[in-house]
Amino acid sequence: KIVLGIETSCDDTAAAVVDETGNVLGEAIHSQTEVHLKTGGIIPPVAQQLHRENIQRIVQEALSSSRIPPSELSAIATTIKPGLALSLGVGLSFSVQLVNQLKKPFIPIHHMEAHALTIRLTNQVEFPFLVLLISGGHCLLAIARGVSDFLLLGKSLDIAPGDMLDKIARRLSLIKHPECSGMSGGKAIEHLAKQGNRFHFDISPPMDRVKNCDFSFSGLQHVIERIIVQKEKKEGIEKGQVLSSAADIAAAVQHTAACHLAKRTHRAILFCKQRELLPQSNAVLVVSGGVASNCYIRRALETVTDATQCTLLCPPPRLCTDNGIMIAWNGIERLRAGLGILHDVEGIRYEPKCSLGIDISKEVG
């Protein structure tokens, strides 16, 4: 079995060809990050236009580097939910055309399911396992019980941690910091935090009294922004210049976010063990998404998995962020399980909003 995967849910146009054993036969990606960095965020019609300009070439590159003739593909898998409507639309209409032209089955993909299952391409991980997805666009904790069988334990009630870190980095003007050029907001914070003192500011983790597995990052963002305003006044500098206390602020925000993520994850593990939703020993916690590459956050999560006899696994960074390989692999998983394979694409729609699995967050306490 060989699947072509296509991803356009956000700001990456990506495609890959993957076989049944997880061999990546071909791949290509076009990132729009540079364009969106200049505008300070994604402008959906701009993202749509860039997807349109690149999708044909990216899919062609993935196919030709795989040396697999299109006739040998078993199916085409494409992200149809959740994501930016205009971006999802480009991937879906391109795929519908290709499916009709090549007369292949179509496998609609849930973007979060694909992130969650990526670990099964790189490691031998059996269901059930716990998964924490932390990126610029999402933040959730779920139990993966099967290829398309998830229980949602909690999610962010406002923004995702990567989004919060990006906003703080922008507010701190880290782009202008000589040591942080070309880094994403999260990476710049991680870099600068190494030189800072996380105890300089005393910030309590978000939602400390709320005993569930939901997350919140916008309150923390506002607390940090207030500190920045105070420091700017104190240091007598203009908005837009880099503060001398930027490193301490970076360390504090990273530490507080790490504590929050670790505490929620700890609660989720205890809940799962108590309900026998995960094995009592050697349960697996998978952490993925762009923020998973943060070593400080990873170490905080490791103290949780060590204390609960769990194993922490992360896909390699290039598979943690959006890519075509995870979509193709999700297609392979679905083909093997015989789930959600369409032979008629008439009437298929994308869904900008779509949660992952069954929401049991109200039961977690």
> Which residues are at the interface with ligand ATP (CB under 6 A)?
10, 135-138, 162-163, 165-166, 184-187, 190, 289-291, 293-294, 321-322
Alpha carbon distance 182, 165 (integer Å): 15
**Is the CB of 89 or the CB of 136 nearer to ligand ATP?**
136
Estimate the crossing angle of helix 161-171 against helix 246-274, to 10 degrees. 170
Q: How far is Cα 76 from Cα 98, in angstroms, rounded to an integer?
A: 8
152: left (phi over 0), alpha (psi -120 to 50) or beta: beta
**Considering the rule CB under 5 A, would residue 333 count as an interface residue with Fe ion?**
no
**Nearer to ligand ATP by C-beta: 29 or 165?**
165
Give whichever of 26 and 137 is closer to Fe ion, judged by the CB atom: 137
Q: Are 90 and 8 spatial neighbours (Cβ–Cβ below 8 Å)? A: yes
Number of H helices, E strands in the chain: 12, 11
In the complex, what is the shortest distance from the CB of residue 322 to Fe ion, in angstroms, rounded to a whole number? Answer: 4
Per partner kind, with CB cut-offs from 5 to 8 A, the member of ligand ATP, Fe ion, none near residue 290 is ligand ATP
- Segment interacting with Fe ion (CB under 5 A) among 98-106, 151-159, 216-224, 318-326: 318-326
Q: Which is nearer to ligand ATP, 159 or 272 (CB)?
A: 159
Out of ligand ATP, Fe ion, none, which partner does residue 162 contact, by CB within 5 to 8 A per kind?
ligand ATP
First to last CA, the chain: 43
Give the shortest CB-127-to-Fe ion separation in angstroms.
Answer: 21
- 82 vs 105, which CB is nearer to Fe ion? 82
Residue 118 vs 265, nearer CB to Fe ion: 118
> Residue 76 CB, nearest distance to Fe ion (Å)?
20
Beta-carbon neighbour count of residue 310 at 10 Å?
24
> Is the Cβ of residue 99 or residue 164 nearer to ligand ATP in the bound state?
164
Query: What x-and-dash track marks residues 271-310 binding Fe ion by CB under 5 A?
Result: ----------------------------------------
Q: What's at 57, amino acid-wise?
A: R
Q: Residue 306 contacts by C-beta under 8 Å, 6 or more apart in sequence?
A: none
Which H or E run contains 106?
Answer: strand 106-110
Nearest by Cα to 203 from 158, 250, 170: 250
* Contacted entry of Fe ion, ligand ATP, none for residue 118, CB cut-off 5 to 8 Å set by kind: none
The answer to whether residue 322 forms part of the interface with Fe ion (CB under 5 A) is yes
Please choose which of ligand ATP, Fe ion, none residue 324 contacts, taking the beta carbon within 5 to 8 angstroms, the exact cut-off set by kind. Answer: none
Beta carbon of residue 163, minimum distance to ligand ATP (angstroms, whole number): 6
Cα–Cα distances in Å, from 80 out to 111, 114, 115, 196, 351?
8, 11, 14, 42, 6
| Beta-carbon contacts of residue 290 (< 8 Å; ≥ 6 apart) | 134, 135, 136, 162, 184, 186, 320, 321
Contact 23, 69 (CB under 8 A): no
Q: Does 166 engage in binding with Fe ion (CB under 5 A)?
A: no
Residue 27 contacts which entry, Fe ion, ligand ATP, none (Cβ below 5-8 A, type-dependent): none
26 binds, among ligand ATP, Fe ion, none (CB under 5 to 8 A by kind): none
Stretch that binds Fe ion, among 175-183, 197-205, 279-287, 319-327 (CB under 5 A): 319-327
Task: Give the footprint of Fe ion on this chain (CB under 5 A).
Answer: 322
